[in-house]
Amino acid sequence: MPDHSTAYIGTAFIVGVGLALICKEALSTQRRRENSTPKPESDTLVARPGPPAIVEGIEGCIGNTPLFRIKSLSDETGCEILGKAEFLNGAGQSSKDRVALSMIEIAQEQGILTPYSGDTIYEGTSGSTGISLATLARAKGYLAHICMPSDQAIEKSDLLLKLGAIVDRVPPAPIVEKDNFVNRARALAQAHTASSTRPSSDGSDEPRNSKGRGFFADQFENEANWRAHYGGSGPEIYAQCEGKLDAFVAGAGTGGTISGVARYLKPLLPNITVVLADPQGSGLYNRVRYGVMFDVKEREGTRRRPQVDTIVEGIGINRVTANFEAGKELVDDAVRVTDAQALAMARWLVEKDGVFIGSSSAVNCFAAVKTAQKLGPGHRIVTVLSDSGSRHLSRFWAKAGDVGGAVDTKLEDVLNARDEDLK
């Protein structure tokens, strides 16, 4: 037995030494691999996240849009001015994707819309909401009928037609007139539903006919609008900023974006400043500043067209909608932006950053700069880049002209742009 014990001990010793040598060699090999792996050139570089999981349909591509530092505006102001790239939403390529999806899904939950039943979605819109609705209608089994003012960029209605929507371009008219584009959409939806039989909950009525029902989306008054931003844009901005944010700047057409984001951010960041970006001809600026809905361009005898007198599309209005009312008390300040200033800002962003945006986004960026100047250096400001300039070629960008080889425009020139420069 003692001889066997000695043999066991000797064998164990030899095995242990062998394992130690193997581990040492493995560790050395690992270190050589690590030393040969290229290192980032800067500690600030981080690995990009992996690709997202597979999503269900094009509607799964909506939301979680990037938030990026607008370099030129940040460098010029000493503030961090961040743009929420809503033009990268995956359905209709605008912030209205969120709203359209919310309105459709809530209508489905309430039994107002039934997929593949012949139901048609009607909406009065200046363009982007219609494009989002037309896209998602097809994706979810509906048809779309869009009414829009005839003075909006023609490429919007052309795109709607390609998306399979019926399009009515109607002369601009005040909301109090029945021929207003919103009122026309409402009337068409009501007439559609009236011409269709509709089953009761117990199935006692005759089946609905193939024409389906008409659903008026009503983006101006439908609270699904601001709720889309309360549940989407707001939380995304807060998470992307890691809760460090001093101001949020946005325009208002329906008012859903500014109200929804403000309602989410204000309870979490009580000191945040919410700023309305408002184009010329809109009454919201005076509504926020002075409590009165009025604009000097709306005076008797001075108005050149029946609606808001600006080439900016998508924001600016002369009535208070339910969606704006939902967050009106949370809006702290307002910045008025002229057409000349919006055009100059759009050109600046192409010249300095290669960012090609639409008219409402240009207004938002101008207001963000004015907010930065008011707050002073060192603050973080988020604004919304609602859509691409490709939807504004025939009107806004036709007026802005080609940027060409411009490289030396000064921000001061943008801020001091005058209407006389447009003539």
Catalytically annotated residues: 96
Structure tokens at 330: 């949370």
Contact in structure between 188 and 95 (CB atoms under 8 Å): no
Contact in structure between 215 and 122 (CB atoms under 8 Å): yes
Closest CA to 295 of 371, 303, 362: 303
User: Which residues, at least 6 apart from 109, have a Cβ–Cβ distance to it below 8 Å?
Assistant: none
| One-letter-per-residue 3-state SS of 247-298 | EEEEECCCCHHHHHHHHHHHHHCCCCEEEEEEECCCCHHHHHHHCCCCCHHH
End-to-end CA distance of the chain: 111
- Work out the angle between the directed axes of helices 359-375 and 339-353 (0-180°, nearest 10): 90
Return the SS3 of 233: helix
Contact in structure between 86 and 385 (CB atoms under 8 Å): yes
Q: Any idea how long the chain is?
A: 423
